[in-house]
Amino acid sequence: MPDLRTETLRVNFGPQHPSTHGVLYLIVDLDGEIIVNVEPVIGYLHRGMEKIFEFRNYSQCIAIMDRSDYMSAFFNEMAFIYPVEELMEVDVPKRGEYLRVIMMELNRIASHLLFYGAYGMDLGAVTPFLYCWREREKVMDLFEIAAGYRLHPNYFRVGGVKEDVTDEFLEGTMQFVKELPTWLEEYETLLSYNEIFNLRTRNVGKMTKEWAINLGVTGPVLRATGIRWDLRKTDPYSAYDDFDFDIPVGTHGDCFDAYRIRVLEMLQSARIIEQALNNLPGGPVRAKTKLNVSPPKGEAYARIESPRGELACYIVSDGTQKPYRAKVRAPSFVNLMAVPPLLKGHLIADAIALFGIFEPVMGEVDR
Amino acid sequence: MNMATSEITLELVDRLVEKFPETVKNKYLDWHTLIVRREDIIELCEMLKSDGEFEFNFLTDLSGVDYLEYMEVVYHLYSYELQHKLCLKVRVKPDDLLIPSVTSLWSTADWHEREAYDLFGIVFEGHPNLKRILCAEDFPGHAFRKDFPLENDEEYLLRDEKTAEDYGISEDLPS
C-alpha cells in the first residue's frame, strides 16, 4: 500500500474561544492531534496604558492601573504605588499597611477562586464555576463596603489607603475567613479528588527549574517546579514581615501541582487575614502627603507578588505630577512567553490544560 | 528562608567597570546601575550570567525609555542563588537605533525586545523573531515615542462641531 501523504494542519485557536482566557489568539500547527508548534498572537486588548500614564497625574494613574490586571486590582494599585513611595520616602502608617495587606489577601483569594472555577470549566467541569462565583460575591460585597467599588476599587493612595474601614467590614471579613476552610474542603471534592481531573492534569507539562528561571516564569508555576520563592517571604514589602504563613511548593512540576498550590495559598491567605484582623493597630490610615504627589526626579523599580507572579513597575519621574515613563512588568506577559516551548509533543487537550494553569489575564498581557 | 534581595556589592560593580572601562557607574535608590556601551553589552551579560560571583540568571524586565536626545534600554537583573540585583542601561541615538539582542542568554528577553521594537522602534540584532507584538502589523509609526500624539487631537477637539454629514452618515431615519 503506498504511503499516505500527511501534512500539518494550521488551526486558529481564538481570539474568541471559550477556553482561552480572554482574547488570546493561538496559531497551532497540528500533526493529527499532536502539537508541532504554537505561536501566541497578542495585542487584542492593547489600550496603550503606559502612554496614557504619561498624560495623567499619579492619582489618576492609580485608577487606570486597576484595569491592567482586572482580576487582581489591589495588586496593580500596590505595584504602582510602592515604587512611588520608595522614591518619595514616604512612611506609611501601620494601620494603612495592615489594611493594604487585608485587601490584597482578600483579592488573592478572589483571584484564586476564579482560577479554580475557570480552570475546571476549561477542562469541562462546569459545576465548580458557579460555586466559585458564589464566594467571590461575598468578597465583592466586602470590597463594596470598604471602597465603594467591586472590581476596580481605586482604594489605595500614595501613603496609605483612601479612608478607614467600618466595623461592618471587619466583622464581615472575619466571618468570611472563618468559614473559608469548610467550603474550600467541599470544593476540593469536586476537582482535586475527581478522577477525570487527575487524569487530565497529573504528569501533564513537565516544567523544570531551568526552564522556569531561563524564561522568567514566576508565581505559582515557579513554585510548582520546586523552587521555594515567594516575594512576600524573600523580599518582604508592606507589613508581610509581621505575619506567619507558609509557602506551598510543588514536587512534580505538572499542572496538578500548580493547581493545588493555588488552593493551598487560599488557606494561607486566610491565615494572614485572620492575624491581621486580630492585631489591627489604631491610628491614621494615610501619611500626610498631598493627594496629587510630585515625586522628586529619579527612577524606581519595585516588585510585589500578585496571584500570577511577580508584578513590578518601573517608574521614571521628572519632578512633575505626571510620570515620565511608567512601565508595568506584567507576570502574565512573561508567563505566556514561556508556554510554547513546553507544548511540543503534547495533545491539543493538554494545551488547554497548560494554558489554563498559567492563567493569563489578557488585560495584563496587553496593557 | 528570609533573605531579602540586596543590592550588589560595590566591589563587584568596580570589578565590572575595570573590565569594561567605558561603562559609567550610577545608582538610583538601592539599584546599582551601569550605563554600558552597546558594543560591550553582550560580553558583559555573558560575564554576568556565567561568572560565579555574579550568577545573574533572571532577567526581570527590559524596557525602553524615550529621552528626547537619546533612547535608553533598561535591563533589570536578579540572581536567585546569590540574592542580589543589578540594573544595566544602554543608550542609543535616535537615528541609529540598533542594539544586540540578549535572547541567546536569557530567553525571557524575547517578547520584551519585541515590545520595545514595536513601541519605540529599537531594532535588536540577532533576535529570532523581531516583529510587532502589541500593535497591528501595519501600524504607522512607533506608538510610545514622545512625538507620537496620544490622541488624534484635531479630531478630538472638533468632535462637538462635527455633524453626521461630515462622517458620511445621513440624518434621516431608515424607512
Candidates B5, B112, B135; nearest CB to A235 = B5
Total domains in the fold of chain A:
2
Write out residues 13-42 of A within 8 Å (CB-CB) of B: 42
Query: Hey, what amino acid is at A167?
Result: D
Q: Which residue has 490622541 as its cell numbers?
A: B151
**Would you state the pLDDT for residue B155?**
62
Same domain, A40 and A185: no
Interface touch A216/B59, C-beta < 8 Å: yes
CB A236 within 8 A of CB B2: yes
Q: Least CB-CB distance to A43: which of B134, B148, B150? A: B134
First to last CA, chain B: 74
Is B97 within a domain? yes
Confidence at residue A108, expressed as pLDDT on a 0 to 100 scale: 93
Q: Cα separations (Å) of B112 from A336, B31, B128?
A: 12, 21, 13
Closest chain B residue by Cα to residue A362: B134
Regarding whether A148 and A14 lie in a shared domain, the answer is no
Is B43 part of any domain?
yes
Q: Where residue A48 falls among pLDDT bands split at 50, 70, 90?
A: confident
- Is it the case that residue B163 has pLDDT exceeding 70? no
Residue A17 pLDDT level (bands cut at 50, 70, 90): confident
Percent of chain B with pLDDT over 90: 3
Based on the fold, state whether residues A69 and A146 are members of the same structural domain.
yes
Where does a domain end: A10, A28, A46? A46
Of B60, B66, B74, the CB nearest to A312: B60
pLDDT band at B157 (very low <50, low <70, confident <90, very high): low
| Closest residue to B4, CB basis, from A216, A236, A299 | A236
Residue entry with cell 488570546: A24
**A160 vs B152, residue with greater confidence:** A160
The pLDDT score that the predictor gives to residue A205 is 79
Backbone angles phi, psi at A317, to 5 degrees: -115, 140
Contact B80 A213 (CB under 8 A): yes
Stretch A267-280: mean pLDDT = 91
pLDDT (0 to 100) of residue B160: 65
Please determine, for residue B149, whether its predicted confidence score (pLDDT) is greater than 90.
no
Residues of A in contact with B134 (CB under 8 A): 42-43, 46, 366-367
Report how many Cβ contacts below 8 Å link chain A to chain B. 94
Q: What residues in B contact A50, CB-CB < 8 Å?
A: 144
DSSP state of A4: P
Say if residue B74's pLDDT is above 70. Answer: yes
| CATH code of the domain containing B67 | 3.30.460.80
How far off is chain B from A257, nearest CA to CA, in Å? Answer: 22
A207-220: average pLDDT:
86
Q: Transcribe A280-335 into DSSP letters.
A: ---S-SB-S--SS--PPSEEEEEEEEETTEEEEEEEEE-SSSSEEEEEEE-HHHHH
Residues A116-170: tens digit of each pLDDT: 988 888 888 888 888 888 889 999 999 999 988 888 888 998 888 888 889 999 9
Same domain, residue pair A140 and A101: yes
**Quick check: B57 pLDDT over 80?**
yes
pLDDT at B1: 29
Sequence letter at residue A141: D
Q: Which of A251, A254, A250 has its CA nearest to residue A202? A: A254
Q: Are residues A23 and A154 in the same domain?
A: no
SS3 (DSSP) at A205: coil
Residue A366 counted as domain residue: no
Alpha-carbon distances of A53 from A155, A308, B74, rounded to whole Å? 18, 23, 19
- State yes or no: pLDDT of B175 exceeds 60: no
Nearest to A321 by CA among A96, A153, A84: A84
With a CB cutoff of 8 Å and minimum separation 6, the contacts of B79 are: B54, B55, B56, B57, B58, B85
For residue A176, the SS3 value is helix
Containing structural domain, residue B104: 6-159
Question: Averaged over B55-70, what is the pLDDT?
Answer: 87
- Look at residue B174 and tell me whether its pLDDT is greater than 80: no
**Chosen from A301, A328, A364 to mutate, greatest number of chain B CBs within 10 A:** A301
User: Does the pLDDT at position B93 exceed 60?
Assistant: yes
Q: Give the DSSP per-residue string, B102-164.
A: -TTT-TTHHHHHHHHHHHH--EEET-TT---SSS-TT--S-TTSTTS-SS-HHHHHTTTT--G
Q: Are A206 and A176 members of one domain?
A: yes
pTM for the model stands at 0.87
Give the B-side interface with A, CB within 8 Å. Answer: 1-5, 28-29, 31, 57-61, 63, 65-66, 74, 76, 80, 83, 87, 106-108, 110-112, 132-136, 143-144, 148, 150
How many structural domains comprise chain B?
Answer: 1
In a domain, B138, yes or no: yes
Closest-approach residue (CA) in chain B for A213: B58
CB A4: neighbour CB atoms within 10 A? Answer: 5
Regarding predicted confidence, which is higher, B82 or A39? A39
pLDDT band for B169, please (50, 70, 90 cuts).
low
Distance, C-alpha A174 to centroid of its chain: 23
Please indicate, yes or no, whether residues A241 and A109 belong to a single structural domain of this protein. yes
Residue A35: domain span? 1-46
Residues A14, A160: one domain? Answer: no
Is the CB of residue A342 less than 8 Å away from at least one CB of chain B? no
Alpha-carbon A11 to chain mean position: 29
Q: Cα–Cα distance between B123 and B114 in angstroms, integer?
A: 9
Please indicate whether, in this complex, the C-beta atoms of A314 and B63 are within 8 angstroms of each other.
yes
Instruction: Decide if pLDDT at B3 tops 50.
Output: no
Q: Given a cut of 70, is residue A266 above it in pLDDT?
A: yes
| A213 shares contact with chain B (CB less than 8 Å) | yes
Whether B58 sits inside 8 A of A216 (CB atoms) is yes
- Please give the share of chain A, as a percent, with pLDDT higher than 90: 23
At A366 the pLDDT is 87
Residues A311 and A180 in one domain: yes
CATH of the domain at A279: 1.10.645.10
| B165: number of Cβ within 10 Å | 9
**Grid cell at residue A197:** 481531573
ipTM of the complex: 0.87
A194 phi and psi angles, rounded to 5 deg: -90, 130
Whether A129 and A99 share a structural domain: yes
Q: Do residues A32 and A147 share a domain?
A: no
Contacting residues for B131 by C-beta, under 8 A, at least 6 apart = B114, B117, B137
Is A175 a member of any domain? yes
Residue B2 has pLDDT above 80, yes or no: no
- Distance, in angstroms, between B112 CA and closest chain A CA? 8
Interface test with A, best of B45, B58, B68, B122 (most A CBs within 10 A): B58
Q: Is A327 in the B-facing interface, judged by CB distances under 8 Å?
A: yes
Joined grid coordinates for residue A11: 488551526
pLDDT tens figures, A63-119:
999 888 888 899 999 999 999 988 888 888 999 999 999 999 999 999 999 999 888
Is the pLDDT higher at A290 or at A171? A171
In whole angstroms, what is the distance from residue B131 CA to residue B140 CA? Answer: 14
Model confidence at A364: pLDDT above 50: yes
Residue B8 pLDDT greater than 80, yes or no: no
Q: Which residues of A touch B110 (CB under 8 A)?
A: 337
Helices (H), B28-126: 41-50, 109-120
Residue B165 resides in a domain? no
Is A121 in the same domain as A24? no
The kind and range of the H/E element at B88 are strand B84-92
Please give the Cα distance from A10 to A161 (Å, whole number).
50
Structural domain includes residue B172: no
Q: Among A160-174, B16-30, B54-68, which is the least confidently predicted range?
A: B16-30
- Residue in A42, A215, A301 nearest the CB of B134: A42
